[in-house]
Structure 1
Amino acid sequence: MPHIDPAPRSHRSGQSRQRPRVALFSGNYNYVRDGANQALNRLVGYLERRGCSVMVYSPTSPTPAFAPEGTLVPVPSIRIPGREDYRLGLGLPRRIRAHLSAFAPDIIHVSAPDWTGTAAQSFARDAGIPVVSSLHTRFEKYAAFYGANLLRPAMERHLSRFYRRSNRILVPTPAIAAEFGEAGLGERTRIWGRGVDRSQFTPHARDMAWRRKLGIADGEVAILHFGRLVREKGLAEYVALCERLIREGLPIRPLVVGGGPERSWMEQKLPQARFAGHLMGPELGRAVAGADIFLNPSTTEAFGNVTLEAMASGVPTVCIDVPSGRNLLQGGSGILFPQGDMEAALRGLRELTRNARARAAMGGHARNASATYDWDGASYQVLECYMDVLGRSLEPWDGRGDAAIPFAA
């Protein structure tokens, strides 16, 4: 395995350009909306406001989910078998390499361990450009949801090589940083947190008329699934838990917000559910605030943007005990249950279903806790990492948002 110097020599000292030129590689920058590309688009917008030059390289689609922040350069890709809503980057053909060379980045940031991301790492190594990698999901856990458990060891080896080829590694939680530390990568690892728009996700967006129109009675407790309708988001566990509560006669109504390839399966398995579909903007905020409990059984979340958005909406969460949920649900903001312990999950759901005061108290704690998560503050962590690997420095973050942040060579 090649040794990676934590800071390539040509980039250790200050250069004439104080604001870095960043080439960002993504596996999905805007063709399907998810938590990863939400963070990446927020980052690019922030960097450009700070005066950085950014070029984004990613697979694209004729029907993108939203307009991208910054300049997006399409890279060759194919649909992923069995997950045809997502695409797999195929590397860096000569045309893209020429474009990248002409852009002359100071930093190459790779956010997906696909063929394009690994090719970008090789390009950077050959050119003496530092590589920053960011972790956005626990890909090694996907195999179990698609009948490919035998592939997990190979996936883990690939991910280990991918991150070891990076000069800096950005992870979303201290628990994941600790994992990299145990693997001997602690000196390279930095935290990149996340933020939430508390004006979009707010208890004030709750609309009882919207609930009634969707078919949720005033006396029913709406249990929310929020996010992409794909197997790795814990859909089977969500369905099983809701079915159990319904059989017990509890007045719950499953509320599903989001779209994806497993919707028809969910409609068949859980006919009592109300499906709001894929929503954005104020409509999404209204739907999340319209829930009474958020149930998150996903084991593949690296940070848990949806949990944070539910918290900001004042919705109490029942979440599987994984590092992402543990990092967010502190101080009475939610209930954690051990992985595989359905009875513990049911106890938490029953308690909140039967006790409106407990829901309100927990939702209030969650709303208050969400105030510590700021998108500009999170993006500043990335810029600080870039400047560190280039041997430059920034004045400390002062929480002023769009206020000017001086650069120092």
Structure 2
Amino acid sequence: MKILHILDHSLPLHSGYTFRSQNILRAQRRMEFDPVVVTSPKHEEGTGEDGPTIEQINDFIYYRTGGARTFPVPLASEAWLMHKLSRRIIEVARIEQPDILHAHSPILNAIPALWAGRKLELPVVYEIRAFWEDAAVDHGTYAEGSWKYKLTQSLETMVCTRADQVAILCNGLKEDLVRRCIPSDKITPVFNGVDPQDFKSSPPDAEYQQQWGLAGKTVIGFIGSFYRYEGLDLLVRAFADACREREDAVLLLVGGGETENELKKLVEELGIGDRVIMPGRIPHERIPGVYALVDVLAYPRNPMRLTELVTPLKPLEAMAMGKVLIASDVGGHRELIQHGQNGLLFPAGNGDALAQALSDVLSDTQLCDHIRAHAPEWVVKYHSWQKTTAVYRDIYAKALHTEKILEPQSAQGKS
């Protein structure tokens, strides 16, 4: 069965979005589906130039749409983008002859997929990874409750009503859609996952260890994008409080983003510049070796609608690596973390509670040993990509109005 995925952007750009997409493609290939991809003009916006019309990356075919025009009139740019993408979807579908169109958020991909699906008489699956109007609020693009926010939200609801099936990232998103009167049996979670072969106990990255001066240090770390909702300013302050008397402790913040300069300024103000390492972004393939350098991972996400509804990927990676993790008790974290078993939760937005949690794990070796032993087992059992993507068989069967898509004989023979 051939699936045409419609993505906002993809590799070679690096983001949580592109890595999830790549893992879905890999998982579907193992399931003996035949996935191909067309990307939105947003991909060219990310690269800064129009590249080739077709690319092959990691043995997958990516059809590009080319850049979009910008208009001064409100919503005209979005309308042009959707028109251009719908034409490209139709072109690619006539070449590849897919059985299903699988559009991934945002709605700027879903609406063109619905247009193309109607013209081609193909079923459309819409997969929501986050409500992009909520991300726009955090980025300051527009305010919650503004006309743009309400318009985006109503269009999202309309798309979910018209799509044949809806896949979502986590239960928080499903509950929100059910409150909008989208039938529960039309919505299926496709949870985030990890490949246990990519994230497992491994040696520390020796080059980075020397370059960052981490030998003999107790390392508290964060690896990811520096979005405002991540609450990294809270982590910096909590580290300064909790580790004031622990000269061996350092804070490692790997990544970059909108709050990077603010964080550097805060570090200077607190006088802890010699104990906070901010090396910037690193190649994706070296991330396991960096996890191996860290003793405790911290995820202090701020409470807001986005973090309450959406589950992150990074805590799963940390668990798979057998790391101790501390996270705020926003809804997205509560879906993943069992307090005291595979991690620790603290009240979101409470810097004193985060500082206390850091102090607790740095002094309680028995608790840390328990988490390190339990977390990898839990991830393999519930959140491997093989486990989380298996539901696509049911999603596609419902979209095609067929009873069941059977596993291939090769897969059945392995079970």
> What is the TM-score of this pair, normalised by structure 2?
0.78
Q: Which amino acid is the alignment partner of residue 35 of structure 2?
A: V
Aligned 8 A contact 2:138 2:228 in 1: yes
Q: Report SS of the residue matched to 1:43.
A: helix
Alpha-carbon distance change, 165 to 244 in structure 1, aligned in 2, over 3 angstroms: farther
**Which residue is 1:174 aligned to?**
171
**Which residue is 1:317 aligned to?**
325
Check if 1:357 corresponds to 2:350: no
Partner Cα distance (2:9, 2:324) in 1: 30
Aligned 8 A contact 2:63 2:92 in 1: no
1:43 to 7, 11, 24: 24
Partner Cα distance (1:389, 1:96) in 2: 18
Q: How many Å apart are 1:360 and its aligned residue?
A: 2.6
Check if 1:201 corresponds to 2:199: yes
Query: Structure 2 regions of 5+ residues with no counterpart?
Result: 71-76, 268-272
Residues 258-315 of structure 1: CA deviation (Å, up to 9, x unaligned): 2445444433333332134433465211101211111112364633211000011111
Aligned 8 A contact 1:135 1:169 in 2: yes
Aligned 8 A contact 1:227 1:306 in 2: yes
1:284 to 283, 287, 298: 287
Written as runs of structure 1 = structure 2, the 5 A alignment for 1:319-358 is: 319-330=327-338, 332-358=341-367
Greater shift, 311-320 or 366-375, is seen at 366-375
Aligned 8 A contact 1:352 1:358 in 2: yes
Alpha-carbon distance change, 403 to 221 in structure 1, aligned in 2, over 3 angstroms: farther
1:295 to 293, 298, 301: 298
**Which residue is 1:404 aligned to?**
411
Q: Report SS of the residue matched to 2:82.
A: coil
Check if 1:394 corresponds to 2:405: yes
Alpha-carbon distance change, 68 to 27 in structure 1, aligned in 2, over 3 angstroms: farther
Q: Report SS of the residue matched to 2:348.
A: coil
Aligned 8 A contact 1:201 1:289 in 2: no
Check if 1:55 corresponds to 2:18: no
Q: Which amino acid is the alignment partner of residue 103 of structure 1?
A: E
Alpha-carbon distance change, 166 to 236 in structure 1, aligned in 2, over 3 angstroms: farther
Partner Cα distance (1:125, 1:237) in 2: 48
Q: CA RMSD in A?
A: 3.3
Q: How many Å apart are 1:145 and its aligned residue?
A: 2.6
Alpha-carbon distance change, 127 to 381 in structure 1, aligned in 2, over 3 angstroms: same
Partner Cα distance (2:205, 2:23) in 1: 28
Alpha-carbon distance change, 336 to 403 in structure 1, aligned in 2, over 3 angstroms: farther
Aligned 8 A contact 1:201 1:288 in 2: no
Q: How many Å apart are 1:73 and its aligned residue?
A: 1.0
Partner Cα distance (1:104, 1:337) in 2: 50
Q: How many Å apart are 1:190 and its aligned residue?
A: 0.8
Partner Cα distance (1:279, 1:78) in 2: 30
Q: Report SS of the residue matched to 1:205.
A: coil
Alpha-carbon distance change, 110 to 292 in structure 1, aligned in 2, over 3 angstroms: same
Alpha-carbon distance change, 165 to 221 in structure 1, aligned in 2, over 3 angstroms: farther
Q: How many Å apart are 1:79 and its aligned residue?
A: 11
Check if 1:116 corresponds to 2:109: yes
State the identity %: 19
Q: How many Å apart are 1:138 and its aligned residue?
A: 4.2
Q: How many Å apart are 1:326 and its aligned residue?
A: 1.4
Check if 1:132 corresponds to 2:125: yes
Check if 1:91 corresponds to 2:94: no
1:375 to 385, 401, 404: 385
Aligned 8 A contact 1:173 1:323 in 2: no
Greater shift, 31-40 or 273-282, is seen at 273-282
> What is the TM-score of this pair, normalised by structure 1?
0.79
Partner Cα distance (1:388, 1:275) in 2: 47
Alpha-carbon distance change, 252 to 79 in structure 1, aligned in 2, over 3 angstroms: farther
Partner Cα distance (1:231, 1:316) in 2: 23
Check if 1:275 corresponds to 2:278: yes
1:161 to 158, 162, 165: 158
Greater shift, 313-322 or 232-241, is seen at 232-241
Partner Cα distance (1:74, 1:68) in 2: 16
Partner Cα distance (1:233, 1:69) in 2: 34
Alpha-carbon distance change, 46 to 209 in structure 1, aligned in 2, over 3 angstroms: closer
Alpha-carbon distance change, 193 to 332 in structure 1, aligned in 2, over 3 angstroms: same
Greater shift, 55-64 or 366-375, is seen at 55-64
Partner Cα distance (1:54, 1:371) in 2: 25
Partner Cα distance (1:244, 1:154) in 2: 44
Residues 114-140 of structure 1: CA deviation (Å, up to 9, x unaligned): 423322222223443222111223433
